[in-house]
Chains A and B, each alone.
Chain A
């Protein structure tokens, strides 16, 4: 019996550690102590923009194409090819774009953070920072969280745009059973600004979790070069599960009781 309890107990313990770490991290950011290192936060924002934008947008584009063809074929099969816009609008905005963003954030940004900060931990650079009198938590973790808050909403909105464009290409240009005017009439009819806001909240919740998990595993890495690799792998496990759970909770909270569709009275 004891043997089977070891793994769950470890998970709960590390979840508690991550929660404590997250609380400290948020305290640094919202306690405005991070603004002492605002320059570093801006630099991290630049790194995020130059390093990750294209990859995230390209995954959003590919999944937008996927939504488009599935929508076109599904609506053809129910005998309403002109309504492919309904499927694309809901699939892109509400579900697939947050997931695409979460997948690529955890793959590119989350593991990148672990590799970077973990290497600093292994080579004792973090201890060196502390010796110099700089709070490593503020300088390394809080600046990255602030940078992601500054950059990611815009990156997310542009990723949604990339997905919409890809769906348009797939439905109108590739399959070609609906005119572009007919597609966009239905497409915009079935979504409104609050939907975009909810979708953004979903994406940002995923991004916050991913940055926290990434910095936590990097900050607590140990055990030589192998330890960094193992920590990177572990952060990816937690991130993939958390992305799906946040996605489900977001759908349940924002659209669970109210479909927000212009149908019926």
Chain B
């Protein structure tokens, strides 16, 4: 009886911890085999990079404009209009877009669009035993499949952050126009308050998000099992773990950045 209850409570968490450990091991292996010669993954890297770029750019732009028009734009804009200080909207967009929404939405889009595609692809190969066949042929799946996807997703997510910031700021521009505020004030307060620390913090954060998404999705794809339902279930678990992991990391990173760089939260 006690045993059954204990099993029910502890087995899922034990399973989860084991998986996290496996993902850490996969991260280590990936980084090691990315650095150690030979480097056969150039072509695959370019393919994956272009593939993810083609899939992600349109959802990213739409989502980013929508989010930034709604959340920081309308809500903060309404609040500022009450005080007659709509010119400060640009300053708020440093916090909202550059620090928070751009990396977070980029990570969600990359996890949901490119990450799921990677898991479905690798999972299908695993189910059809292609990964085992590769190993028999003496081709290392980590070096030839995981490393290019890891690098491509990591670099792409970091670069996408810039485009997300631009799309988000255009959402802010639309909000300013909606409140009939001159755009000069928006950009003036934006550029006065923006700092280099904010920008590199955002890009580093976003790159790390890409790494988390890539590792989780590759791991789940490579360990898919159980026929037709297995691939679907792998994709399901991959997005859940990637989303939770990304936001948990986001909290730790933002807290550390804000606490160690007090100058970025000074309003100028």
Q: List the interface of chain A (C-beta within 8 A of B).
A: 55, 58-59, 62-63, 65-66, 69-70, 73-74, 76-78, 86, 90, 94-96, 99, 103-104, 106-108, 111-112, 114-116, 118-119, 122-123, 224-226, 228-233, 236-237, 239-241, 244-245, 247-248, 250-252, 255-256, 258-259, 261, 263-264
Contact = CB atoms under 8 A, between A and B. Distances in A.
Q: Can you list the 3 inter-chain pairs with the closest CB atoms, starting with the nearest?
A: A115-B232, A229-B120, A259-B78
B74 interface: yes
Nearest to B236: A111
B235 interface: yes
B81 interface: yes
Nearest to A78: B267
Contact of A58 (B117, B230, B234, B244): B244
Contacts of B121: 229
A248 B66 contact: yes
Contacts of B100: 66, 70
Interface string B238-268: 0110111001101100110010000001110
B266 A116 contact: no
B63 A114 contact: no
Nearest to B81: A259
Indicate the member of B116, B128, B248 with the most A CB atoms within 10 Å: B116
A122 B267 CA distance: 58
Interface of B: 55, 59, 62-63, 66-67, 69-71, 74-75, 78-79, 81-83, 95, 99-100, 105, 108-109, 112-113, 116-117, 119-121, 123-124, 127-128, 227-236, 239-240, 242-244, 247-248, 250-251, 254-255, 258, 265-267
Contacts of B251: 62, 65-66, 69
Contacts of B123: 229
B202 to A, nearest CB: 14
A244 B258 contact: no
A251 B75 contact: yes
Contacts of B66: 244-245, 247-248
Given A90-B75, A108-B240, A233 B258 contact: no
Contact of B244 (A62, A237, A240): A62
Nearest to B178: A256
A264 B243 CA distance: 40
Nearest to B248: A62
Contacts of B113: 233, 236-237, 240
B62 A241 contact: yes
B9 to A, nearest CB: 12
7 contacts: A59-B247, A70-B254, A90-B79, A104-B240, A225-B124, A237-B59, A240-B109
Given A106-B112, A247-B67, A241 B232 contact: no
Contacts of A261: 78-79, 82
Contacts of A244: 62-63, 66-67, 105
B239 A251 contact: no
A207 B128 CA distance: 34
A258 B266 CA distance: 29
A104 B244 CA distance: 9
A42 to B, nearest CB: 22
Contacts of A229: 119-121, 123-124, 231-232, 234-235
A255 B128 CA distance: 51
Contacts of A104: 240, 243
A29 to B, nearest CB: 24
A229 B255 CA distance: 36
Nearest to B95: A74
Contacts of B265: 73-74, 76-77
B75 A66 contact: no
B127 to A, nearest CB: 5
A20 B227 CA distance: 31
A119 B227 CA distance: 9
A73 B100 CA distance: 13
Given A236-B113, A237-B112, A240-B63, A63 B247 contact: yes
A115 to B, nearest CB: 3
B153 to A, nearest CB: 14
A63 B117 CA distance: 26
A59 B243 contact: yes
Contacts of B71: 95-96, 99, 247, 251
A118 to B, nearest CB: 6
Nearest to A55: B240
A48 B267 CA distance: 45
